[in-house]
């Protein structure tokens, strides 16, 4: 941040940075670990959310590091509405309730009643007064009577689990403060142009560069947390005899939202059989009630799961990680049925999701990699036809030594779906026809994946 001509002191410039990389609509972003270091040092960072959400950038810094100078800079380049995100436990202790019990905000931003520090302030509106209020909020020794209501600072109620459960600036601010080793309370404010309009990605990058600030995205913060934090716990282990053979089932629960997952391990020694340098034959399978249980022919998930279990049993060593919460590529069971309804009317699988206002694919595999690491898996031979799944596992720290194709045939009910997967989502599906009604371009005879031959079908709803 440069020296301001209004006489306010400059904030120390950002320190050395990791290489920058395009991540937000082609706009250069900085490394999350550098942003955490900046927060710890008392510097603000620019945080952008998703282009399909608010598509805005906020200045964020740790509440415990607030100074009159930093607050003055923040007010100067923002809307001037100073918010202080905090965990619910801190707000409850300070007896600060929600502004309304019926939140109708489009993004459910949890505003509380506004406050001022009772002592050390005048009217409450100056930069010095608001910096004082923010520091009082962040002080664990503060008592409820030390805050007057209403005031000029708006605390926000953080959702437990942070950006992993709600991708908002509220959660990003608290997560960054916590990751920096500070009191989990932040300050945020929207960055605006001189005419009062919101700055967008390119303008935010220019603003950050002009003032020596780092800029990150909430999406990168999500990835960073999934990669660096332990977010699953093993809660069960039992024998599970199946028609494919005798497996050991390990039950897992995510610590952020309680979602339950299962790992089916084949081998006499259970999870101990998976350790060591030899890559483990692995299937990461997304939950599909319609395909796995009901035998739906609109996807080939059930047959893929069966084939994966058979191949792992034949191998004598391997694991299926069964991920809950991935129904319909992560949009949920009922939404998947609604998407099917749109497909009945001629939409493809991608456009059907988008027409519902949902992502084409909302899944991530950070949970799967954490399960694999808990099972001491060092690298995998991954049963999938989806190159993106390979990249995703490697991004979260599980090396993929080989992609082993699955060999399910298309049928009259899923061919259009598979073609959309191939043509619009990049799945590796040789042998399919060019379009519905055209002859196949390759053999329709399945090939044993262990021979290295290529498949004639795709990885279903959950490739």
pLDDT in tens, 105-116: 666 788 999 999
Q: Are 43 and 158 in contact (CB under 8 A)?
A: no
Outline where 119-217 has alpha helix (H): 127-138, 169-179, 201-210
| Residue 242: inside a domain | yes
Give the whole-angstrom CA distance, residue 281 versus residue 327: 23
More confident residue, 383 or 407: 383
Over residues 394-407, the mean pLDDT reads 92
In a shared domain, residues 148 and 292: no
pLDDT of res. 353: 92
- Active-site residue, from 363, 381, 459, 461: 363
Domain boundary among 187, 205, 227: 227
Secondary structure tally for the chain: helices H, strands E: 14, 16
Percent of the chain with pLDDT over 90: 70
In a shared domain, residues 295 and 396: yes
Match 């910096």 to its residue by tokens: 131
- Residue numbers of the domain that contains 73: 23-227
| Residue 441: inside a domain | no
Report the candidate in 402, 433, 414, 418 with the shortest Cα–Cα distance to residue 463. Answer: 418
In a shared domain, residues 148 and 199: yes
| Residue 155: inside a domain | yes
Token readout for 360 is: 């084409």
Q: Over 70: is that where the pLDDT of 5 sits?
A: no
| Residue 63: inside a domain | yes
Q: Average pLDDT, whole number, for the chain?
A: 87
In a shared domain, residues 210 and 84: yes
Over residues 107-135, the mean pLDDT reads 94
Which residues are CB-neighbours of 76 under 8 A, at least 6 positions away? Answer: 4, 6, 8
Match 């009062």 to its residue by tokens: 196
Which residues are CB-neighbours of 190 under 8 A, at least 6 positions away? Answer: 56, 57, 58, 78, 79, 81, 198
In a shared domain, residues 195 and 267: no
DSSP secondary structure letter of residue 288:
-
Q: Over 70: is that where the pLDDT of 10 sits?
A: no
In a shared domain, residues 283 and 383: yes
Match 């950038």 to its residue by tokens: 57
Q: What helix, strand, coil percent values describe the chain, rounded to 5?
A: 35, 20, 45
Q: What is the CATH number of the domain that holds 367?
A: 3.40.50.10990
Number of domains in the chain: 2
Token readout for 57 is: 């950038």
In a shared domain, residues 305 and 391: yes
More confident residue, 406 or 105: 406
pLDDT of res. 201: 83
- Active-site residue, from 58, 361, 459, 461: 361
| Residue 201: inside a domain | yes
Q: Over 50: is that where the pLDDT of 368 sits?
A: yes
pLDDT of res. 174: 98
Give the whole-angstrom CA distance, residue 176 versus residue 187: 11
In a shared domain, residues 132 and 186: yes
Burial 45-80 (b: 16+ CB within 10 A, else e): bbbbbeeeebebbbbbbbbbbbbbbbbbbbbebbee
Give the whole-angstrom CA distance, residue 116 versus residue 130: 7
Q: Are 24 and 47 in contact (CB under 8 A)?
A: no
Q: What is the CATH number of the domain that holds 135?
A: 3.90.870.10
| Residue 351: inside a domain | no
Q: Cβ atoms within 10 A of the Cβ of 139, count?
A: 15
Token readout for 104 is: 């109708």
361 included as an active-site residue:
yes
| Residue 431: inside a domain | no
Q: Classify burial at 15, counting beta carbons within 10 Å of its beta carbon; exposed 0-12, middle 13-18, buried 19 or more.
A: exposed
Cis peptide before 150, with omega less than 30 degrees from 0? Answer: yes
DSSP secondary structure letter of residue 192:
B
Over residues 238-243, the mean pLDDT reads 96
In a shared domain, residues 134 and 264: no
In a shared domain, residues 42 and 189: yes
422 included as an active-site residue:
no
In three-state secondary structure terms, 89 is: helix
More confident residue, 24 or 358: 358
| β-bridge partners, 319 | 265, 282
In a shared domain, residues 127 and 200: yes
pLDDT of 346-362, one tens digit each?
999 999 999 999 999 98
In a shared domain, residues 53 and 79: yes
Half-sphere exposure of 319 (CA within 13 A, CB side): 31
| Residue 343: inside a domain | no
Over residues 191-205, the mean pLDDT reads 90
């Amino acid at each position: 941040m440069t020296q301001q001509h209004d006489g306010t002191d400059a904030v120390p410039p950002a320190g050395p940075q990791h290489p920058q990389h395009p991540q937000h609509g082609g706009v250069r972003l900085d490394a999350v670990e550098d942003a955490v270091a900046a927060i710890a040092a008392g510097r603000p960072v620019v945080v952008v959310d998703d282009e399909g959400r608010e598509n805005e950038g906020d200045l964020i810094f740790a509440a415990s590091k607030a100074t009159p100078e930093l607050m003055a800079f923040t007010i100067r380049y923002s809307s001037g509405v100073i918010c202080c995100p905090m965990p619910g436990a801190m707000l409850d202790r300070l007896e600060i309730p929600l502004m309304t019990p019926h939140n109708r905000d489009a993004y459910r931003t949890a505003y509380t009643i506004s406050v001022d520090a009772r002592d050390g302030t005048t009217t409450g509106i100056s930069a010095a007064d608001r910096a004082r209020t923010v520091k009082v909020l962040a002080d664990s020794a503060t008592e409820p009577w030390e805050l007057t209501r209403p005031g000029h600072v708006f605390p926000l109620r953080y959702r437990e689990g942070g950006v992993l459960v709600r991708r908002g600036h509220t959660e990003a601010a608290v997560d960054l403060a916590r990751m920096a080793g500070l009191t989990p309370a932040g300050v945020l404010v929207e960055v605006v142009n001189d005419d009062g309009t919101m700055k967008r990605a390119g303008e935010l990058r220019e603003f950050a560069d002009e003032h020596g600030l780092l800029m990150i995205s909430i999406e990168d913060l999500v990835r960073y947390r999934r990669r660096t934090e332990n977010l699953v716990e093993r809660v069960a282990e039992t024998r599970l005899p199946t028609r494919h053979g005798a497996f050991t089932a390990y039950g897992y629960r995510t610590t952020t939202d309680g979602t339950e997952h299962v790992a089916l391990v084949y081998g006499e020694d259970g999870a101990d059989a998976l350790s060591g340098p030899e890559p483990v034959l692995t299937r990461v399978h997304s939950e599909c009630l319609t395909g796995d249980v009901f035998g739906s022919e609109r996807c080939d998930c059930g047959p893929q799961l069966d084939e994966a279990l058979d191949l792992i049993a034949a191998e004598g060593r391997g694991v299926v990680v069964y991920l809950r919460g991935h129904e319909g590529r992560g949009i949920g069971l009922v939404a998947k049925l609604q998407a099917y309804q749109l497909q009945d009317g001629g939409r493809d699988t991608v456009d059907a999701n988008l027409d519902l206002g949902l992502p084409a694919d909302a899944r991530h595999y950070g949970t799967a990699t954490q399960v694999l690491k808990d099972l001491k898996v060092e690298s995998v031979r991954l049963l999938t036809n989806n190159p993106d799944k390979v990249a995703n596992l490697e991004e979260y720290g599980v090396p993929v030594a080989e992609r082993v194709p699955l060999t399910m045939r298309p049928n009259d009910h899923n061919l259009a779906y598979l073609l959309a997967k191939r043509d619009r989502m990049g799945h590796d599906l040789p042998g399919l026809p060019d379009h519905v009604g055209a002859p196949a371009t390759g053999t329709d005879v399945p090939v044993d994946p262990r021979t290295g031959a290529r498949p004639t079908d795709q990885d279903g709803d959950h490739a």
